[in-house]
């Protein structure tokens, strides 16, 4: 299978060009001197300077980061608990409904999730702001976390937990000392996924935010509707850079963690 025909080479080259050229153009033109984004007028970093002085964007960025940190942390706790219950738990009342509620938000159109949560918040008289966005983001991203964590829980050896219990651990201790360290990479990638989902979300945030809290995607969306602007290009470049560094670091960390685990398992195998 390891021969690349000319057809494979061409389709890979064109495919990755298609995926990356739009981003590269966007990045290049963020360093454009001209206000007209489509005409190159020399190298400049002035749009980054303007961005730093744009209070509205900075405020929105701060709101977005706070929402993402709170909602992804909450979602990781709830999602991990849900995954643990679904994979390890015995039968309990309403289990089918529970697993349905975990999977349904994954495919629910964002407009519907947003609309329904907004109607709930208005129904119970909760003022829309950071709190309501955090609640909304936690709800849909906990489902993603739970899927990521349960795929790890399914593959890992249950007898390790049982051994800990036999050796006198309480269930909570067994979870904290045995299970959690083993599923930690999945929990971390679940957190990262929840974090980016929250950073990225426009539709649900638009429904659930109030005038007091505008997130960055909402701000970008309303600016972008008026057309392409060099300032948005600069902002996009920063966001692309952050994500790229984050994803590469995360993958290196998980790769190292997996290698260490494999080494540990091999070492354990040898001493048996």
Partner 1 sequence: MRRAVLIAIPYVWLLALFMVPFFIVLKISLSDTALAIPPYTPTLDFSAGWAGIKEFFSQLDLENFVWLTEDDLYWKAYLSSVKIALISTFLTLLVGYPIAYGMARAPEEWRPTLMMLVILPFWTSFLIRVYAWMGILSNEGYLNQLLLWTGIISTPLTILNTSTAVYIGIVYTYLPFMILPIYSSLERMDGSLIEAAEDLGCSRAQAFWLVTVPLSKPGIIAGCFLVMIPVIGEFVIPSLLGGSGTLMIGKVLWEEFFSNRDWPVASAVAIVLLLILVVPIVLFQRNQQKQAEADG
Distance, CA of 24 to CA of 17 (rounded, Å):
10
Give the nearest distance from C-beta 268 to partner 1 in angstroms: 26
Using the rule CB under 8 A, give the single segment among 49-57, 182-190, 218-226, 259-267 that binds partner 1.
Answer: 218-226
Which residue, 69 or 240, has its beta carbon nearer to partner 1? 240
Distance, CA of 125 to CA of 222 (rounded, Å):
27
Distance, CA of 236 to CA of 229 (rounded, Å):
11
- The single residue listed with the structure tokens 């890992």 is 156
Residue 172 binding partner 1, by CB under 8 A: yes
Span 176-205, contacts to partner 1 by CB under 8 A:
196, 199-200, 202-203
Span 29-48, contacts to partner 1 by CB under 8 A:
29, 37-38
Span 107-126, contacts to partner 1 by CB under 8 A:
107, 109-112, 115-117, 119-120, 122-123
Cα–chain-centroid distance for residue 249?
15
245: left (phi over 0), alpha (psi -120 to 50) or beta: alpha
Residue 226 binding partner 1, by CB under 8 A: no
Span 139-158, contacts to partner 1 by CB under 8 A:
139, 142, 146
Is 174 within 8 Å of 165 (Cβ atoms)?
yes
Using the rule CB under 8 A, give the single segment among 46-54, 75-83, 161-169, 262-270 that binds partner 1.
Answer: 75-83
Residue 270 binding partner 1, by CB under 8 A: no
Cα–chain-centroid distance for residue 215?
16
C-alpha torsion 76→81→86→92, nearest 10: -150
Give the nearest distance from C-beta 174 to partner 1 in angstroms: 12
Residue 92 binding partner 1, by CB under 8 A: yes
């Amino acid at each position: 299978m390891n021969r690349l025909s000319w057809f494979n080479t061409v389709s890979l080259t064109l495919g990755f060009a298609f995926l990356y050229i739009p981003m590269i153009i966007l990045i290049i033109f963020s360093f454009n001197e001209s206000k007209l984004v489509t005409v190159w007028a020399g190298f400049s970093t002035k749009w980054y300077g303007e961005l730093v002085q744009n209070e509205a964007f900075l405020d929105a960025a701060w709101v977005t980061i706070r929402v993402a940190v709170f909602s992804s942390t909450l979602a990781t706790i709830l999602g991990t608990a849900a995954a643990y219950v679904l994979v390890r738990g015995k039968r309990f009342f309403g289990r089918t409904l529970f697993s349905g509620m975990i999977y349904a938000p994954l495919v629910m159109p964002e407009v519907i999730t947003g609309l329904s949560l907004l109607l709930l918040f208005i129904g119970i008289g909760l003022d829309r702001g950071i709190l309501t966005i955090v609640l909304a983001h936690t709800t849909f991203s906990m489902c993603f976390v739970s899927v990521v964590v349960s795929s790890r829980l399914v593959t890992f050896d249950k007898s390790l937990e049982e051994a800990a219990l036999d050796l006198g651990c309480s269930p909570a201790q067994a979870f904290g000392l045995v299970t959690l360290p083993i599923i930690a990479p999945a929990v971390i990638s679940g957190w990262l996924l929840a974090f980016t989902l929250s950073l990225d979300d426009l539709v649900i945030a638009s429904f659930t935010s109030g005038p007091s809290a505008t997130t960055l995607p909402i701000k970008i969306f309303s600016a972008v509707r008026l057309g392409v602007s060099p300032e948005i290009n600069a902002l996009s470049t920063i966001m692309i850079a952050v994500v790229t560094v984050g994803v590469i670091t995360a993958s290196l960390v998980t790769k190292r963690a997996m290698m260490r685990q494999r080494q540990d398992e091999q070492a354990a195998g040898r001493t048996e």
